[in-house]
Structure 1
Amino acid sequence: MPCFMKMAVREARLACPDDIALQHDIVMSWGKTLAELDLNDPPPAIARHLAELVRTKTGCGDLYRDDKDEANKCVAALLPDLEARIAQEIKREDGDALALALELAIIGNYIDRGVEIEFDLEREIANVAGTISPEVLATLKRDVFPGAKVLILGDNTGEIVLDKLLVKEFIRIGCDVTFAVRSHPVINDATIEDAVTVGMTQLCQVVESGVDTPGTILDRCSPEFLKTMEQADVILAKGQGNFESLEGRWPGIYCAFKVKCKRVAERTGLDFGASAFYLTKQDEMDGGDGGVPNACSD
């Protein structure tokens, strides 16, 4: 609840920076709405109600548009050097380009306006090395055979630029890659507009999930997208929002994200700021224990 109230204040200020009375109205209205919601729902399912409230009261549909454009631009400037690092990794006899691309893509998950966290992206990128579970990585390598249908559930802008490194590695292996984005603007999550801007649509098929939530809430997905999920050989869910949306609700998903809040740290058993990478249990569905396998690593 404290996180959602902070988010309401931040988004009210973004939507109507010069109208203090309207900011107050948004925050007070959100407090009443929040009290009526089921807080057992995944946080992304709750967050969509705030987006609807702000949009209704202000008419502002994409609060973070400027922020998203700036994030994509800043990370794109880093891409040539990162591509060169992966090229060197490919040439090394003991190199692991897929692991490096995956770790870089996870670091990109720091770029999240849904939480308040300070980080040094360039320092994190410079120091990346061996932070993900080798056991789960080995399982992923087994599953991404040539011809495998790989579905990546994207998350934030900026992050989507680093996701291109991962997409390229799956393509190099010979996989058929599909990248999913949100269907409606919510926080700073990537939409089809961002996929076009950063060049993701030139690399692989890009589809909209149908959701208006900062996470893949299954009952907000389109029937077509759910079919895409069912037909995928591998699903890799990027971001804490997708983790919160899918944990215990869809088996056999690779989750890759940065731990960015105390609640998720406690849930995963990882430190704040750690890189999480694990495969959800094959029998992990609604009504299950919702436990997190001991395959995470910091």
Structure 2
Amino acid sequence: MKTQLDCLPCFLNMALNGIRKACPGQDDVHEKVIREWAKGFAEADLSESPPSIAGRFFRMTAVHIGDVDIFKDQKDEANKRVIELLPKISDTVHNSEDPLLAAMGVSIIGNYMDCALMDKFDWEVELEDLEQDIDRKLFADFMERVRAAKSLLILGDNAGEIGLDTIFAKLLRAEGINVTYAVRGSNILNDATVVDAEFVGMTDICEVVTSGVDTPGTVLNRCSVDFRERLKSAPVVLSKGQGNFESLWGVMPDVFYAFKVKCPVVARLTAHPMKTSLFCREN
């Protein structure tokens, strides 16, 4: 997905939110970073994906603040809240008519745990309707392919969300399906890393690997060589979250996507309204 002009103000909001958390009260640093990002817009190649550009800008910011996990508190809070609710949510999923479909609904709702948007959406309220909007025929086709291959590579997205993904991963493992879950290679926004995978217990359920990226999405040229080979050879790939969608849509064929539509740009591109629980594949 190419970056749109509407993405640029969103970048600035992310930068300002992040730098204020990292350097509270240091207005001079805040101004320097925002000016640097704004200047970078003039040189940005909008044919790149939003996560690719955002990742480059955050690397510039690291020069001023060092290697700081800016959203660590938010990530920890999201993970802990999910762990608290997981037994109840798991019971709801297992007692549903189609537990795998319900687990996918939970997994998509978890995509609302986005540091740039958490104050706009209440993921816990949405748990009352797990299967809303999901294309059931496409999901059935997806599960048929997963069962035939007995293998699935999941590209994870946010902290907190990864905890809800454990429900889906456990159900697949119970069917003897080999699940691999990929996380970011370094701290970026509130995206999940190996630390989060260990905290929520994903490492106890399936193989967890790092994609190597330092971007808020699976940007292929930022992935490690080993992971690109793993991605290329995976019989079925499930891309979780809007950041991964933005990185891979129009770039990598035959990927299944599961995420919440959270911005007008993606709503226009997918022809689905904001707040949709979208399960799709690029034709």
TM-score range, shorter chain: over 0.9
Distance 1:104 1:125 in 2: 7
Aligned-residue offset at 1:147: 5.6
Distance 2:121 2:205 in 1: 29
**Match of residue 165, structure 1, among 159, 167, 173:** 167
Within 5 Å, give how 1:1-298 maps onto structure 2. 1-89=8-96, 95-115=97-117, 118-145=120-147, 148-281=150-283
Distance 1:117 1:66 in 2: 15
Moved over 4 A (4+): none
Distance 1:130 1:67 in 2: 27
More divergent stretch after superposition (210-219 vs 137-146):
137-146
Count matched residues: 276
After superposition, the C-alpha distances for 1:197-217 in whole angstroms (9 at most, x for unaligned) are 111100000000011000000
Uncovered stretches (5+) of structure 1, i.e. residues with no partner: 90-94, 282-298
Distance 1:193 1:24 in 2: 31
Structure 1 residues 116 and 166, CA, compared in 2 at 3 Å: closer, same or farther? closer
Distance 2:118 2:82 in 1: 19
Name which structure has the greater RCO, CA cutoff 8 Å, separation 6+: 2
Tell whether the 8 Å contact from 2:149 to 2:235 is kept in structure 1 after alignment.
no
Secondary structure of the residue aligned to 1:22 is helix
Secondary structure of the residue aligned to 2:182 is strand
Distance 2:48 2:213 in 1: 15
Uncovered stretches (5+) of structure 2, i.e. residues with no partner: 1-7
Tell whether the 8 Å contact from 1:237 to 1:256 is kept in structure 2 after alignment.
yes
Tell whether the 8 Å contact from 2:74 to 2:115 is kept in structure 1 after alignment.
no
Distance 1:274 1:217 in 2: 24
**Matched-pair identity in %:** 42
Structure 2 letter corresponding to 1:50: F
Secondary structure of the residue aligned to 1:144 is helix
Tell whether the 8 Å contact from 2:149 to 2:236 is kept in structure 1 after alignment.
no
Question: What CA RMSD, in Å, does the superposition of the two structures yield over aligned residues?
Answer: 1.3
Q: TM-score, normalised by structure 1?
A: 0.89
Distance 1:18 1:121 in 2: 31
After superposition, the C-alpha distances for 1:55-74 in whole angstroms (9 at most, x for unaligned) are 11112421011110111001
More divergent stretch after superposition (261-270 vs 224-233):
224-233
Aligned-residue offset at 1:241: 0.5
Secondary structure of the residue aligned to 2:120 is coil
